[in-house]
Amino acid sequence: MTQPSNPYGRRPGGGISLPDYYRPMTSINNRNVYFPGTEILPEGEMRISVLGSTPWPPTRAQAGTCILVECGTGQQQPRRFFFDMGNGSVKNALAMQVPPMYINDIFISHLHGDHFADLPYMYPFTAWAGRWQPLRLYGPSGATPELGIKHMAKHMREMLRWHEENFLHVTASIGYEMDVTEFDWKDENGICYDQEGIKVRHWPRSHVKDGASAYRLDWEDAGLSVVWTGDGRPDEKTERYAAGCDVFITEGQIDTPGLMSLKFGVPEDLTKYTIDSWHTMYYAAGYLMDKVQPRMGMIVHYEDAGSALEAESVAEVRSNYDGLFMFGGPDIQVVNVTKDRIWSREAAVPEGAAIAPLDPRWLMPQPFPESMDLPRPEMPRETQQEQFLRDMEIDPHEYYPPDVDREIVQNWPDEGFSVDPREMLRSRGIEPDDD
């Protein structure tokens, strides 16, 4: 009897024979689960985390599309890049212990809401929470100026005018500035980022409208690369510019329009039209993976059709591809990559808040000064609120219990607020290096 062929050159026995490079790194503490904040990413190692994996509908298991790429420095904080920032993805970024001040360098593939909807939420709150530097955005132009990312960013800020001015009574204005890099959406393999050995290239994709792009990040010093296709139909440019990358991440749609119509309540023909005109079916995802030949393929931006269709989903990909691949959902799937190894896990994150506390080492070089003054607000509350509204307030002494013995602070003190960076570290059980 002829044995089934195997893509990795060995006979299957009790399951697929995985490639030799699919094995854990020495930097990994737990081979089955990633516990955020417990592993220092070594220099030359990449970590890819899918913070959001669906277009619609958002669920507790799947936020809007967002991919975090971290390049290890051997230090506590790696270099970080975000590709898209769909609805609900910021909560996953924070749960992954990304400090708010490091949620930056965001590359938007196109301006569908499921790819940038968390930007207006994230932008003012991270400025308040320590991102005392401009927000850096990258993205394509459009067929007309008002359809590009610069126009979106400008009017997002206009939309948030009330919120921004309100927060200017507690933080510095620099966090509300934006550095927007808008590139020509027609450029093929153009470079939109080139700093410290990392380049990000882009090319146009055939989606619904002019102005959708794919990205490839090349970390030259480590010899590692990752591609995010964004949304769109399978095309020759993606096949060409993604070729040979380490991790190839593509959107994908299951070819079950009848069932999806039943699930989501839309006409079957509309489902077919959406898939066939705008997106990449799993057959095509497998086809592109076969052409690109990555070390690992991954599918995100998909609706979880339920466990009953897992085999169908895999079969559609396998109709054209027999290499290593995985699905990026449910959130949060984590992939570590080195030159000779790849390993995947799922992150363990809490239901509640898990924000990383502010660390003075992120803000200033050592040795630390005796104290750190917080930036003085540029628009105090009294300059943006009429006095009669404050006069309406009930005296706090009326409702605070008499044994609450603390000063009530409602105005920025003349001497300002200051913190002792050494005490900030000691409160977390960390002894400052310069003592």
Residue with tokens 């119509």: 261
Q: Which of these ranges, 18-27, 71-80, 196-205, 420-429, has the smallest mean pLDDT?
A: 420-429
d(C-alpha 212, C-alpha 142), whole Å: 8
User: What local confidence, expressed as pLDDT, does residue 169 receive?
Assistant: 76
Among the listed ranges 6-15, 370-379, 416-425, which one has the minimum average pLDDT value?
6-15
- Nearest-5° angle of CA 87, CA 56, CA 241? 80
Predicted local confidence at residue 206, as pLDDT: 96
Tell me how far apart the alpha carbons of residues 50 and 214 are, in angstroms, rounded to a whole number: 16
296-329 pLDDT, tens digit each: 999 999 987 777 788 889 999 999 998 999 999 9
pTM for this structure? 0.92
Residue 144, exposed/middle/buried by CB under 10 A (0-12, 13-18, 19+)? exposed
Residue 287's H or E segment, with its range, is helix 282-292
- The span from the CA of 216 to the CA of 241, in Å, is 8
The span from the CA of 172 to the CA of 390, in Å, is 23
Alpha-carbon separation of residue 308 from 135, 235, 325 (angstroms): 42, 30, 19
pLDDT of residue 3: 46
Residue 28 near residue 344, CB atoms below 8 Å? no
CA distance 62 to 53: 6
Average pLDDT over residues 220-246: 97
What average pLDDT does range 129-150 have in this prediction?
A: 94
Residue-wise pLDDT for 47-77, tens only, equals 999 999 999 888 899 999 999 999 999 998 9
Task: Calculate Rg over the CA atoms of the chain.
Answer: 24
- Let me know the angle formed at the C-alpha of 154 by 381 and 137, rounded to the nearest 5 degrees: 105
Strand pairing report for 224-228 and 79-83: unpaired
Q: Are 28 and 72 in contact (CB under 8 A)?
A: no
Say whether pLDDT at 9 is over 80.
Answer: no
* Helix/strand/coil for 51: strand
In CATH terms, the fold of domain 40-347 is Metallo-beta-lactamase; Chain A (3.60.15)
Instruction: In the chain, list all ranges with CATH 3.60.15.10.
Output: 40-347
Cα gap 302→285, rounded to integer Å? 12
